[in-house]
Amino acid sequence: MSLTAFLEVAIGLVFTYLFLSLIATWVNETIASLCKLRANNLKKAIQDLLEDPDKLKEFYEHPLIKALSQQKNGQVKRLPSYIPDRTFALVALDVLSEKKALITESAGELKPLFDSLPSSVKGTFDTFWRAGAKSVESLRSDVETWFNDKMDRLSGMYKRRAQLISGVVGLVLAVGLNIDTITITDALWREPALRTGITEYVTKNAEEYDSENDVDVPMDELRKTLASLELPMGWGTYAPRTSAMMSSAQAAGRDENWAVFTGWLLTGVGWLLTGLAVSQGAPFWFQLLMKLVNLRSSGVVPKIEEEAKEWEALLEDKLKGVKEDLDELKKKLPSS
């Protein structure tokens, strides 16, 4: 098989993973919105920083934070899911300062204000003081860094949770729609028309599936698009059937029970591979898909194949010449 065919198989497989990953992203966002995961996680992170329930309540009642919240009739209906680091620093310093003047005091009076801070954060702010936070600007910068470090850890935790949910959603989709990586790869490998059709579709429409554009791909759209591409999936024609496995084994003279076991095992592995692939996320598969499409469109692969054919022809000529020389040599050698 040519390099172009290998590339088209990869494009078809990666596009399938991208489509399913977008569905998983949509499910993730729906769950996060319904459960208010981002806002609740952010609140928990700020609570860990302030270490004081009263200060946390005061923090969220601050006008600057209320302005970021979703409100209705003057009542907060949804806490903010994102707070800029500068806003956090301003509000935190205002809330934690018992004199309510920490952000406006002169540098010479910062130390007494440090001493008046709640015990829950005194150790942290003493560290800032010893590290050189002798002015309002440097203190604010340290508080922003403190907040950003916590947000980085929170982001990592959120991504791991999202990846787990995506993997579960991917596995559910794989089983529910019978999307078997092994079967799809085999079909793309054996059917040139199938992989060519998918490659042409992807080349024309790949940009539409950029996850940065907040693509919404409902289930009906997934079915329509995948059905139009005629990929081997679904519980109709391509559904694994025990009776078919037994008949095939019987015709080939193989053990029927073993054939059924291996057949369903391969199907399960194919579903699992699909779920694991979806857990990588839509951005990963979109970037890989664009690289594959650009590689194919740039003509690099055909050029490699052309050069390979030239080298093959040159090698054949060389071997032909060597064979002719050997024949001539045999003629000159004395017969035994």
Query: Residue 127: what pLDDT?
Result: 85
Count CA within 13 A, CB hemisphere, residue 23: 26
Q: Which residue has the tokens 């035994």?
A: 336
3-state secondary structure of 154: helix
Task: Identify the bridge partners of residue 71 per DSSP, sorted by sequence position.
Answer: 76
Instruction: Count, in order, helices (H) and strands (E) of the chain.
Output: 15, 2
Q: What angle do CA 11, 22, 80 make, to 5 degrees?
A: 145
Measuring CA to CA, how many Å separate 245 from each of 36, 51, 136, 294, 305? 47, 62, 75, 40, 39
Query: Residue 102: what pLDDT?
Result: 46
Query: Residue 212: what pLDDT?
Result: 62
**Pair 204, 149: CB distance under 8 Å:** no
Query: Residue 305: what pLDDT?
Result: 56
Query: Residue 146: what pLDDT?
Result: 93
**Pair 44, 53: CB distance under 8 Å:** no
Q: Which two tokens stand for residue 225?
A: 């698009």
Task: Identify the bridge partners of residue 75 per DSSP, sorted by sequence position.
Answer: 72
Q: If the chain, 336 residues long, is cut into consecutive pieces of 10 residues, what is the mean pLDDT of each piece?
A: 81 90 86 86 91 89 90 81 92 76 52 72 83 80 92 89 90 91 91 87 78 55 68 82 84 86 92 94 90 76 59 73 71 61
Positive or negative torsion for Cα 232, 235, 238, 242: positive
User: Rounded distance, CA 309 to CA 278, Å?
Assistant: 38
